[in-house]
Amino acid sequence: MKPQLKEFPRGALHIFPSPPSTDLSSPCYESVSNVSCYGGFVDKVISYLPFLSKKSVNVSCSDGLLIKSYPIYPFLVENILKPLDLTDDRYKKVMELMKQNIEEGLHPDTHAKANIKCFPTYVRTVPDGTENGNFLALDLGGTNFRVLLINLDGQQVAMERQTFNIPQHIMLGSGDQLFDHIADCIFKFMCDHHLHEKQLPLGFTFSFPCRQFMCDHHLHEKQLPLGFTFSFPCRQVGLDRAILTTWTKGFKCEGVEGRDIVELLHAAIQRRGDMKNVRCLAVINDTVGALMSCAHSDRNCAVGLILGE
């Protein structure tokens, strides 16, 4: 007798196993882990690996209830994975829904309720592969914050980067705490890379033209433009102005939603007192960054896409 799958209310998935085989060479000894279901349909299978011993499956439901662990068999794995194998008609339906949501996001009458907001980026062109120089890039999109020094020589790209952790208490603290931490990371990166000793035009070349200038030892007399990749939902009102609409990815910093994140960054830099000449000339999200990065090497690239949270 084979195991049976049975649907319960609220999408619960229950497994009734038959007695396992005692033959350790049998191909039925496999397992899956972290299977979640919603409305009776499995939507995530993190991993499944073959083992030469009896293993089990942890099944969780849309209401957060954890059903008991049970032995798992190959045909059951196939049944779990089957809903993930979409038909052509299903793909076409997804395409139609995505197109509809994009159109709603672009139209002023439906923009507010659209799932895909289609905010303007204020980026008017893509790179042509002739960009040259050293530039500074800032990237915040998760629990880590990256500062990068990028050297462009035509199609040749060289990068130096440093990754800084965003502690949990800062992710859940105030906006001032977050941007003070970002400013501290920028300053440490500049000191570690002796930027005050280099001729360094700073900016994010992939998304905006950078003003070229000579940077000597009198940094307090020079303005250092930089670019900021801020990978959270923002309503952009200018190339250097972005209003955070809502936090995602575990961030819940108070006093930031509904405010201009570039303004908050500048305020943090000014509070330090030793980087008042650093100015953000452009802010983009990771989707625009993906487009600009790829377009630098391939002029045929027309769309940037980020799959993830």
**CA 309 – CA 306 distance, rounded (Å):** 9
Q: Which residues are identified as catalytic?
A: 249, 286
Alpha helices in 207-260 (DSSP H): none
- In Å, what is the CA distance from 142 to each residue of 12, 166, 247? 32, 8, 11
Positive/negative CA dihedral, 187, 193, 197, 203: negative
- The answer to whether 136 and 202 have CB atoms below 8 angstroms apart is yes
Task: With residue 270 as reference, give the H or E element that holds it.
Answer: helix 261-272
Which token pair is 85? 């194998």
Gap between the Cα atoms of 117 and 107, Å rounded: 10
Which of 131, 23, 38, 129 is CA-nearest to residue 73? 23
Q: What is the largest CA-CA distance in the chain?
A: 81
- Coil, strand or helix at 146: strand
Residue 182 near residue 167, CB atoms below 8 Å: no
